[in-house]
Amino acid sequence: MSEFVVKPGVKNLVHDDEKLVTTHCSYCGMQCGMHIRVHKKTGKIMGVEPRYDWPVTMGKMCPKGVTAYQQVQHPDRIKRPLIKKNGKFVESSWKEALDLIETKFKELQSKYGKDSLSVFGGVSMTNEKCYLVGKYARVALGTRYIDYNGRFCMSSAAGGFIKTFGIDRGSTLPWPELEHSDCFFMAGSNTAECHPTSIQWFWKAKDKGAKMIVVDPRETPTARVADVHLDLKPGTDSALANGMMHLIIREGYVDEDYVRERCNNYEELKEAVKLFTPEYTSEITGVAVEKIVKAAHIYGRSPRSVVMFARGVEQQSKGVDNVALYSSMALLRGQVGKFASGVATFTGQGNGQGGREHGQKADLLPGYRKLTDPEAVKYISSVWGINPEDMPKPGVSAYEMFDEIQNGNIRAMHVICSNPAVSAPNTEHIWSGFRKLDFLVVSDFFLSETAEFADVVLPATSWAEDEGTTTNLEGRVIRIRKVIEPVGESKPDWLIMKEIAERMGKGKHFNYDNPGEIFEELRIASKGGKADYSGITYDRIVKEDGVFWPCPSEDHPGTPTMFKERFDTPDGKANLAVVNWKPAGEYPTEDFPHILTTGRVVYHYLSGNQTRRIDFLMEQCPVPYAEMHPELASQYNLSSGDYVRLTTRRSAMDLEVRITKAIRNDTVFVPYHWGKELAVNQLTNPCLDPVSRMPEFKVCAVKMQKTAAPEASLK
């Protein structure tokens, strides 16, 4: 490409020495459109230009996105396989590394059985790779033990959507329609920091008079501009949602025709929410009665409204209930399946949507098929060319795989694209699990905290060195381009899995020469499933600015708006959620009197293994901290810059104090993007949602104590 659009109607030329490659950001579910600038002669990546003609993000990018390219040729890249010898990593050839993996995997399986191996996947990878991770575990290794980092991210959204709508697509509407909405009810989403390029749509709508209601224990940058900020106690969302529905019903805001024709359980719901008067709701949530009432009136009177949420409501042991209840608010108002209205979760990781559909989950096969459904097993076995009897049974969830390590069932793990040593809850369980394993393989492009535990580290390529597709937070399937050749001797994950499969005697099932061939198989595997990609082709994606699944045939337009006529349930109706409020797994007691919640800052991404290597981002936010209200700080005689020891029932850690009025006075917030002694997951509660098996990252009980600055930080 020699020119690109700078703004509508204006084009810029590319310097003769450079070429532009059109792709998307590597990080969050926004998948902002960008062009990467490459020096033709040296192959060096020079920088990035936002893509103004990408309809979802319209030329906007955030601080992580504009520096994302700096990872690709970063000096820290792992360029050759590493094998741990006498406790130290030594560079090796691919042959030596793969020989060792083959020997160990075979040895362990012959001694302890097929299920002694396990795979821990991730969704920063393309659909092609995510699809292959599931097949790799079940066909190449023949193990039941596979799960992935989306279990910590999107599993409660998935559970809540399936319960309510019968299918899990993160958004029921395309993003550009947000501009035409009248009201956004946003719960547990720090949108301005975590999906920053969405904000433009809310501004556009606000300019036309739209209202915004934000539900968050902190006054985030999004809450600051809201019309109502419902500053609830962490872990009380289901009470708040029930309270909102109480008022929607009491004030006559229900779309009775819609509910009668399209929803189940209305009478039961009416009965269940009777209890949730504004007073009772206020008592549980700590939100003032007037604010609850004001929010209900704004939401109830808006002709077009969108209920949106994110991990704040999902990363709880009642996350599935929360999602189902908030979604039911939108159903009562008859908002789902219509223009500029509906329900959306802010999908987290770049391919957090696609990566959860193709079989990386312990109980799922591609196309969102269930491993417990004999027909699904038969179909996928035929696509994979295996005997249905050889299909492994469902395994266990991500955190529970570490229980299986502790009890000796899992003896080896291959971690592909995740850093659970930082990002899983109750890290001591994870760290001791990694130490206990007989053999750990990690595929990554930077040496992560998880990779440090490994016996073999395999250098994977970054997102800019391979082709493929991802599915963004709307459900739109988009193209990721190869920008440069693989750095050093690194290889794309699909090729690494193929080579291990060959050594495990399963090469004939992994006969691919490029990601396009994997995508063709994925299309067939997904055909007839809930997440049907069979009508999507690479060409269509480019021609149509992405294609929304479900898309069951090449002449099908794709599905930007879900549920226009029916829901994906057996009777075609949505299921209103009838659920009482239940307290979080841990609540403040005399011994642990405050609430700890964890999350993100705009400058870092997840475990931080990528963003902690980018100078600009580290300058902006070098270390984690404990954010608290002045009233709470004063109880402990703390000022900003002092150090505090936070102790939970799991562990303790010391953090710098940051005082702000933008948080409840009973809650402490810590961002989680750092490892080892700086990992807040040392403290978090691994209490799991009974349906989604999502850990409760957002709520646990904590005590505090003033402490001295750690040695290393003394100035």
| Site residues for ligand SF4 per CB under 6 A | 25, 27-28, 30-32, 61-62, 64-65, 195-197
Q: How far apart are CA 102 and CA 500, in angstroms?
A: 7
125 touches 670 (CB < 8 A): no
Choose the one of ligand SF4, Mo ion, ligand MGD, none that binds residue 234, judging by a C-beta under 5 to 8 angstroms depending on kind: ligand MGD
- What count of other Cβ atoms lies within 10 Å of the Cβ of residue 588? 18
707 touches 633 (CB < 8 A): no
Q: How far apart are CA 27 and CA 24, in angstroms?
A: 9
Per DSSP, what are the bridge partners of residue 65?
none
Q: How far apart are CA 337 and CA 649, in angstroms?
A: 45
User: Which 139-168 positions form the footprint of Mo ion (CB under 5 A)?
Assistant: 153
Q: What is the chain's alpha carbon radius of gyration, rounded to the nearest angstrom?
A: 25
Element (H, E) at 306: strand 305-309
Cβ-based nearer residue to Mo ion, 71 or 156: 156
**SS3 assignment, position 94:** helix
234 touches 667 (CB < 8 A): yes
Per DSSP, what are the bridge partners of residue 547?
477
Choose the one of ligand SF4, Mo ion, ligand MGD, none that binds residue 65, judging by a C-beta under 5 to 8 angstroms depending on kind: ligand SF4
Burial label for 261, CB within 10 Å (0-12, 13-18, 19+), is exposed
**SS3 assignment, position 452:** helix
Cβ-based nearer residue to ligand SF4, 54 or 384: 54
Choose the one of Mo ion, ligand SF4, ligand MGD, none that binds residue 92, judging by a C-beta under 5 to 8 angstroms depending on kind: none
CB of 150 to ligand MGD, least distance (A): 7
CB of 490 to ligand MGD, least distance (A): 9
CB of 218 to ligand SF4, least distance (A): 20
**SS3 assignment, position 202:** helix
CB of 311 to Mo ion, least distance (A): 6
Residue 707, CA distances (Å) to 57, 103, 589 in order: 45, 50, 22
Choose the one of ligand SF4, Mo ion, ligand MGD, none that binds residue 54, judging by a C-beta under 5 to 8 angstroms depending on kind: none
Cβ-based nearer residue to ligand MGD, 305 or 559: 305
* Residue 110: CA count within 13 A, CB half-sphere: 6
Cβ-based nearer residue to ligand MGD, 182 or 193: 193
CB of 158 to ligand MGD, least distance (A): 13
Judged by CB under 5 A, does residue 422 bind Mo ion?
no
Choose the one of Mo ion, ligand SF4, ligand MGD, none that binds residue 25, judging by a C-beta under 5 to 8 angstroms depending on kind: ligand SF4
226 touches 92 (CB < 8 A): no
Answer positive or negative: Cα dihedral of 288, 290, 291, 295.
positive
CB of 15 to ligand SF4, least distance (A): 23
**SS3 assignment, position 654:** strand
Cβ-based nearer residue to Mo ion, 151 or 612: 151
Choose the one of ligand SF4, Mo ion, ligand MGD, none that binds residue 446, judging by a C-beta under 5 to 8 angstroms depending on kind: ligand MGD
CB of 348 to Mo ion, least distance (A): 3
Residue 668 phi, psi (nearest 5): -115, 135
Residue type at 35 in one-letter notation:
H
> Which tokens belong to 522?
């994925």
Report the residue number whose CB is nearest to Mo ion: 348
CB of 350 to ligand SF4, least distance (A): 7
User: Which 319-358 positions form the footprint of Mo ion (CB under 5 A)?
Assistant: 348
Judged by CB under 5 A, does residue 454 bind Mo ion?
no
Residue 686 phi, psi (nearest 5): -80, 20
Q: How far apart are CA 402 and CA 456, in angstroms?
A: 19
CB of 30 to ligand SF4, least distance (A): 4
Choose the one of ligand MGD, Mo ion, ligand SF4, none that binds residue 31, judging by a C-beta under 5 to 8 angstroms depending on kind: ligand SF4
CB of 336 to ligand MGD, least distance (A): 20
Spell out the alpha helix ranges (H) of 166-215: 191-194, 199-207
Cβ-based nearer residue to Mo ion, 243 or 348: 348
Burial label for 9, CB within 10 Å (0-12, 13-18, 19+), is exposed
Cβ-based nearer residue to ligand MGD, 254 or 442: 442
Contacts to ligand MGD by CB under 6 A: 28, 122, 124-125, 149, 152-153, 187-190, 193-195, 215-218, 220, 232, 234-235, 237, 310-313, 315, 346, 348-349, 416-420, 422-423, 443-446, 448, 460, 463, 493, 597-600, 602, 604-607, 609-610, 669, 672, 680-681, 684, 697-699
Cβ-based nearer residue to Mo ion, 348 or 354: 348
Cβ-based nearer residue to ligand MGD, 320 or 386: 320
CB of 662 to ligand MGD, least distance (A): 10
Could you list the residues that contact Mo ion (CB under 5 A)? 153, 348
